[in-house]
Amino acid sequence: MRVLLIHTGGTLGMAPQGDHASLAPGPSLDLILEQVPELRELADLKLVVAFNQDSSTNEPTDILRLATLVRAESADCEGVVIVHGTDTMAFTSAMLGFLLADLGKPVVLTGSQRPLAYVRSDARSNLVDAVTLATRGVAEVGICFGDQWLRGVAADKVSVHRYQAFASPNLPPLAELGLSIQIHPHAGAFPRRVPPGLGQTFASELSVYAPFPGMAWNLPPDGTRGLLIEAYGAGNLPMGRADLQALLVHCRDHHIPAVITSQCLWGGADLETYDLGRQALDLGALPGGHHTRWAALAKLGLALGAGLSPEDVLQAFRTPWAGEPL
Ligand code: ASP
């Protein structure tokens, strides 16, 4: 089995640097692999360094290039592993989940909470698990971390310090890696409905609103192309507020999609449950359902970047593109 192993940076390969011994990007992929030689027993590895940076500095253009790189370099491989920082791994996995939905082979993102060079590190087991999954032929883009493989378009980072740093609250894990490896039947089993032509451009002119009682519902900056409103609970907002009504009307009149999801991790926004949600729909808001923040932003940025019509953007949030829970 041949596996493409791509390095993009993150804690896994970091080392203490400078007077304060803060963690910063360190060894390249070859040096990392010298510390985990057993990976070569699991697969014939093809190594590529895409970039080597803290994932907090990743830009959408980095991820678009990463998707292109995976397509170009994986033709002679059965699976792909991407070493990535944890901070923005959920955004990258959502982007790649959409952009590589039709790749037809496993794409496994992994990283670690502690650098590989540390004794009590989770890096070694995450790498071994990720390469193992990449040889199993399941066509999914997912995050392998702390004994689980999670669908990329459904996952989020939920802990700064636990080795089980990720969860996909609204979808059971694709696989669990304990004494044995259990790959569950829903892994790889979802309709692929990503519109053609995505991935050249990402529209970053997006604004995220995180409501709190008393918040001012200011109009977004000029040039904003899409809004994500992370509403309370099942999708409720203080619809009696004139500034919120004005914001939604402004978005509707200027063809700026205003997507409503829930600020809760478990469950999603159902705008028909409460009258408040219904009022938001009546003013043109789009139902974001169970989309994670990252899946919603990836979908909006890719859809708007590709010039999808307002009707198609609405449809995008009513139709799963790549197995994301609605
Ligand atoms: N700041 C690091 C990164 O995202 C955190 C990590 O990898 O765990 O690159």
| pLDDT for res 16 | 83
Atom of ligand 1 nearest to the CA of 87: 4
Does 278 score more than 80 pLDDT?
A: yes
Which of 53, 55, 58 has most ligand 1 atoms within 8 Å of CB, for mutation?
55
Q: Which of 65, 119, 125 is nearest to 95 (CA)?
A: 65
Give, in order, the Cα–Cα distances in Å from 48 to each of 12, 33, 72, 233.
16, 12, 11, 43
Give residue-wise pLDDT tens across range 169-217. Answer: 999 999 999 999 999 999 999 999 999 999 999 999 999 999 999 999 9
**Average pLDDT value for the chain:** 96
Mean pLDDT of the 286-312 span:
97
| pLDDT for res 12 | 95
Fold of the domain spanning 2-183: Rossmann fold (3.40.50)
Give residue-wise pLDDT tens across range 212-232. Answer: 999 999 999 999 999 999 999
State in Å: Cα 13 to ligand 1 middle: 10
State in Å: Cα 254 to ligand 1 middle: 37
Q: Is 147 in the pocket of ligand 1 (CB under 6 A)?
A: no
Output the six-digit token pair for 314: 């609405």
Q: Is 132 in the pocket of ligand 1 (CB under 6 A)?
A: no
Q: Which of 113, 106, 88 is nearest to 175 (CA)?
A: 106
**Nearest protein Cα to ligand 1, atom 8:** 86
Topology alike, domains 2-183 and 206-316: yes
Question: In 254-325, which residue ranges form alpha helices assigned H by DSSP?
Answer: 275-282, 293-305, 310-316
Does 21 score more than 90 pLDDT?
A: no
Q: Is 10 in the pocket of ligand 1 (CB under 6 A)?
A: yes
Question: In 105-241, which residue ranges form alpha helices assigned H by DSSP?
Answer: 123-134
Provide, rounded to the nearest whole percent, the portion of the chain with pLDDT above 90.
93
Domain ranges for the chain = 2-183, 206-316
Which of 3.40.50.1100, 3.40.50.150, 3.40.50.40, 3.90.1010.10 would CATH assign to domain 206-316? 3.40.50.40
Full-model pTM: 0.97
Which of 8, 12, 52, 56 has most ligand 1 atoms within 8 Å of CB, for mutation?
56
With cut-offs at 50, 70 and 90, classify the pLDDT of residue 22.
confident
Q: How many Å apart are CA 87 and CA 324, to the nearest integer?
A: 20
| pLDDT for res 181 | 98
| pLDDT for res 269 | 98
**Nearest protein Cα to ligand 1, atom 7:** 85
